[in-house]
Amino acid sequence: MYVQLPFDELKVDPNQKKRIAYFYDADIGNYAYGAGHPMKPHRIRMAHSLIMNYGLYKKMEIYRAKPATKQEMCQFHTDEYIDFISRVSPDNLDLFAKEQIKFNVGDDCPVFDGLFEYCGISGGGSMEGAARLNRGKCDIAINYAGGLHHAKKSEASGFCYLNDIVLGIIELLRYHPRVLYIDIDVHHGDGVEEAFYTTDRVMTCSFHKYGEFFPGTGELRDIGVGKGKYHSVNVPLRDGIDDATYKSIFEPLISKIVEWYQPSAIVLQCGGDSLSGDRLGCFNLSMSGHANCINFVKSFNIPLMVVGGGGYTMRNVARTWAFESGLLNNVILPTELPYNEYYEYYAPDYKLDVRPSNMYNSNSPEFLDKILTNIISNLENTKHAPSVQMNVVPNDAEDLGDIEEDTAEAMDTKGGSEIARDSAIQPDNEFYEEDFKDKEDRMIIDSKDVTEHKSAPATTATTPKEEESSTTKLTDEELKEIREMNESI
């Protein structure tokens, strides 16, 4: 059943238009887990800087989501856990000795300044992205601050405190009968799988390293229980998987799941720790190999939410997420990095590329064939998309807009409301005077050459002064023609 596919160059269709909502909060890079901790929210700021300097902001609607409230977080998490997260800080940690053990806060998941605000930003972006997909306001929503897939109902785990993915999927389920969750992080998406383990309305599919590796879950035989039986798909992989091998198992499996399950929305967690050279990862994917998954899922033209996740070599995560943002906008970004405030991080080559190493690939064709055969035989057990009983969809929260920044004063001083600026996308046929500056200069030079050529064979003697004036006159005429041409365009 397993067939090794060739890994071709990535292609996009520039004529295909996607409405993309991109969520980013400038405060996200201010939070730090602590010195020496591998998780660094600063990488999201680095990725955003690349996305902006590549000019992708002209193609997307950019939003700063309202942070998730306690009430919204408690749609999945327990009240006492969220209450603890909101009250604990490095200063009062001694008062919560029992709670630290109960809620698994400590070594991997330290308490740092602004922890609750950090969780609010992550959850708010995913929930707002899901809400915009529900209302048909966009085709793709992006929230790189999200993707924290290990957090449990009442427990922090694996650097994750709030499971923004589950909150986003709960929001999607208000409108969509079936949601597919795909996870390409090197770690198993245990928090999301656990949340929807007993329902057939969400199918989870996780590609991860299995065997003496955190979190230790995600065995091939974990397929769900009750109504959710056969709706949890786990693809346990071994060290060193490369681009061609990953593509050969990812594409046929996702195609089969989409064909069988017929989801009306997809959530894609694109953790960057499956890239080659990651501090905590053990896969050997290049930037193109990782991005191929995003490009393939996008090709189904199903409403899609893209969230971040792991990734502990900051420069590689930033490069890959910027490149994938380009693919989602149907643009292949140039390899040469534009200058940005974190340019030094990308030394010594300053290229938009993550290259694979010569790591040994432990995933044999026989091993992958066994996995693929097993999963597809499980899917065969129920050969239809589960139906959903009709229900009244609850009302959306009232959208009051960005009130504070939409006052008359704000519009006067900033030249327009915040909402209007967020929604602004530069059309492809837009142009500015500077776009034609080089062209105009070239035409001026050409006109001078023509003038010199015309004046060369003249038999009547002219003084240098007369010759200079005739040249100037011709150049002015040429300039006038150029200006008229620009105005007509």
The active-site residue, picked from 48, 150, 187, 231, is: 150
Q: Is 436 helix (H, G, I), strand (E, B) or coil?
A: helix
Sign of CA dihedral 361, 364, 367, 368: positive
Query: Which residues have a Cβ under 8 Å from the Cβ of 28 and sit 6 or more positions away?
Result: 41, 44, 45, 118, 121, 145
Check residue 398 and report its DSSP letter. Answer: P
Is 188 noted as a catalytic residue in this protein? no
Check residue 389 and report its DSSP letter. Answer: -
Check residue 337 and report its DSSP letter. Answer: P
Asked if residues 109 and 152 have their Cβ atoms less than 8 Å apart, the reply is no
Asked if residues 174 and 134 have their Cβ atoms less than 8 Å apart, the reply is yes
What's at 109, amino acid-wise?
A: C
Distances from the Cα of 30 to the Cαs of 121, 222, 237, 315, in angstroms?
12, 38, 35, 17
Asked if residues 268 and 305 have their Cβ atoms less than 8 Å apart, the reply is yes
Which tokens hold the place of 436? 């034609």
Asked if residues 202 and 231 have their Cβ atoms less than 8 Å apart, the reply is yes
**What is the DSSP annotation of 55-93?**
TGGGTSEEE-PPPPPHHHHTTTS-HHHHHHHHH--TTSG
Residues with a known catalytic role: 150
